[in-house]
């Protein structure tokens, strides 16, 4: 059987992969590409997670695509609505025929003689294996494992007589009506699940070891809806997007520049929505500064409303052991539970767990440095997407996809077959790729790529900076080397053509 060859092989049919497919389809329509998806459905995160209340924690005017207006009145959207939006995008842009389901990429080997990747793929539906070749690989699967979430070892877990559920593997038939529920965790998943279950469950307790910064924002963007009403959906979406990008950046900069003021402001906002006399500092004052970890969003203050109603509570303590009927805490208190939800985080893996080799030499991602936050030093014809951690993920997806298309166009115009980032200064200091204090990042920080201390090796988390770097800057760069064939000398810093076309 002939091996199928592609110009670009996109890995993942979630929000990043669908976006990448759309940019390729519209900007480089002659390119042959496929989107390989390990699961049996598109949508990534928004199809995988099924726990109560699954929603975005960013507004959809910025979390959605720049090219496809968000038309709903609710800017903070539920997973089914986001999934519908993503699948509409795929259909409207003719991407459905390009998506291959149940195709899990296991390994990819680059050969400089042919300037091609050979990609080994396992069929999850049949167990069969198949092979593709591709000029480029575009890894768009995010950075966490879809097949398992993170659950720490809990002493006495086997003693518990009720049900233990991880949000990433939520049972469709889980009945929690009238049940006592303890949700272990304090991140975005926990603060979503608790108010969604409260009222149906007999009582819900959010058990946290350390508090998290929580902000309440309205589900509906009144200004954005007015702009869409009077300017139309396209222009209204564009102006609302600009407004919200500026708002996100202002909040982040304020928190980083004036952390103590930000602490006091967030505490004041929380206290206004909690019962009088509530121990705010015990349960809602983290020991770290705002935005050292991601702020959690609660739409319309739903978590605070559940606490005021008495259907939910927050307990800050450490787990000593699970018992037959709940959890005993370090303080000696026991929380009774029929169901325990371990909202304890994600398992991160570099590049979707794909094994890479270049000319027979294995690539260890931890030994590479990220170039413009989208390529790896020494690895040819390979791009990846990691969105922002301090604002909407998809803002960076669009910019990276635009830059990727400019790069391919530049190579076509000059007849180049290979593109490889190389660090000019081997003494350049490096640090972790993500300057982020979340536990799921800290657990695997030694397995992820690094970043440098200067552009283009500095991984920007600023939309304004990336607009200049990825949209308006040149594609060519002294540390990005092109060659026409494996035997041709590398050409660094060719400035004959600007990436803006």
Residue 401 pLDDT: 95
- Give the residue-averaged pLDDT of 99-121: 95
pLDDT digits (tens, 9 = 90+) for 216-263: 999 999 999 999 999 999 999 999 999 999 999 999 899 999 999 999
- Give the residue-averaged pLDDT of 425-431: 91
Question: What are the distances in angstroms from CA 197 to CA 146, 168, 173, 311?
Answer: 24, 16, 14, 9
The bridge status of strand 319-323 relative to strand 326-329 is antiparallel
Instruction: Give the mean pLDDT of the chain.
Output: 90
The bridge status of strand 144-149 relative to strand 129-139 is unpaired
Dig out the tokens for 346 from the structure: 């994600």
3-class DSSP state of 117: strand
Q: In this model, does residue 488 exceed pLDDT 50?
A: no
- Tell me how crowded residue 478 is: count the other CB atoms within 10 A of its CB: 12
At how many degrees (to 10) do helices 15-27 and 393-414 cross? Answer: 40
Picking from 433, 307, 316, the residue whose alpha carbon sits closest to that of residue 370 is: 433
Q: Which single residue is written with the structure tokens 């007015």?
A: 226
Helix residue spans in 280-418 (DSSP H): 280-284, 302-309, 393-414
Picking from 195, 203, 182, 158, the residue whose alpha carbon sits closest to that of residue 343 is: 182
Q: Which single residue is written with the structure tokens 């190579």?
A: 411
pLDDT digits (tens, 9 = 90+) for 38-78: 999 999 989 999 999 999 989 999 999 999 999 999 999 99
Cα distance between residue 48 and residue 148, in whole Å = 11
- Give the residue-averaged pLDDT of 347-376: 89
Whole-number CA gyration radius for the chain? 24
- Give the residue-averaged pLDDT of 349-377: 90
User: The pTM is what?
Assistant: 0.91
pLDDT digits (tens, 9 = 90+) for 439-472: 666 777 777 889 898 889 998 888 888 888 888 7
């Amino acid at each position: 059987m002939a091996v199928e060859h592609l110009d670009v092989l996109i890995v993942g049919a979630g929000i990043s992969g669908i976006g990448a497919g759309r940019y390729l389809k519209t900007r480089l329509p002659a390119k042959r590409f496929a989107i390989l998806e390990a699961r049996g459905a598109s949508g990534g995160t928004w199809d995988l997670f099924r726990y109560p209340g699954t929603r975005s924690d960013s507004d959809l005017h910025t979390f959605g695509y720049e090219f496809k207006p968000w038309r709903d009145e609710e800017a903070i959207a539920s997973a089914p609505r986001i999934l519908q939006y993503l699948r509409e995008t795929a259909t409207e842009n003719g991407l459905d025929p390009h998506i291959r389901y149940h195709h899990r990429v296991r390994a990819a080997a680059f050969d400089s003689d042919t300037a091609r990747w050979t990609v080994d793929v396992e069929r999850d539906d049949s167990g069969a294996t198949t092979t593709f070749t591709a000029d480029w690989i575009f890894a768009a699967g995010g950075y966490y494992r879809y097949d398992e979430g993170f659950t720490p070892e809990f002493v006495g877990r086997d003693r518990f007589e009720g049900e233990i559920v991880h949000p990433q593997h939520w049972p469709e038939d889980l009945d929690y009506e009238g049940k006592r529920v303890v949700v272990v965790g304090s991140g975005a998943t926990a603060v979503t699940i608790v108010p969604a279950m409260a009222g149906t469950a007999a009582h819900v307790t959010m058990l946290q070891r350390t508090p998290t910064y929580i902000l309440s924002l309205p589900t509906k963007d009144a200004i954005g809806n007015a702009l869409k009403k009077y300017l139309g959906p396209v222009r209204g979406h564009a102006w609302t997007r600009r407004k919200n990008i500026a708002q996100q950046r202002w909040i982040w900069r304020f928190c980083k520049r004036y952390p103590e003021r930000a602490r006091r402001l967030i505490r004041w906002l929380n206290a206004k929505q909690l019962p009088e006399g509530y121990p705010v500092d015990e349960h809602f004052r983290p020991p770290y500064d705002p935005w050292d970890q991601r702020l959690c969003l609660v739409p319309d203050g739903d978590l605070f409303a559940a606490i005021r109603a008495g259907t939910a509570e927050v307990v800050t303590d450490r787990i000593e052991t699970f018992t037959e009927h709940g959890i005993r805490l370090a303080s000696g208190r026991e929380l009774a539970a029929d169901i325990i939800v371990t909202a304890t985080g994600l398992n991160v893996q570099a590049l979707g767990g794909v094994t890479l080799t270049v000319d027979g030499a294995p690539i260890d991602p931890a030994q590479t440095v990220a170039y413009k936050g989208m390529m790896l030093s020494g690895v040819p014809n390979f791009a990846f997407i990691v969105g922002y951690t301090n604002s909407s993920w998809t803002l960076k997806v669009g910019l990276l996809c635009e830059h990727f298309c400019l790069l391919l166009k530049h190579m076509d115009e000059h007849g180049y077959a290979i593109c490889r980032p190389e660090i000019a200064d081997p003494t350049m200091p490096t640090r972790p790729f993500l300057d982020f204090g979340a536990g799921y990042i800290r657990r695997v920080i030694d397995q992820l790529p690094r970043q440098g201390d200067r552009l283009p090796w500095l991984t920007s988390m600023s939309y304004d900076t990336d607009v200049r770097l990825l949209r308006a800057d040149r594609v060519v760069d002294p540390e990005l080397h092109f060659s026409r064939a494996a035997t041709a000398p590398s050409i660094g810093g060719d400035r004959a053509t600007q990436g803006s076309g």
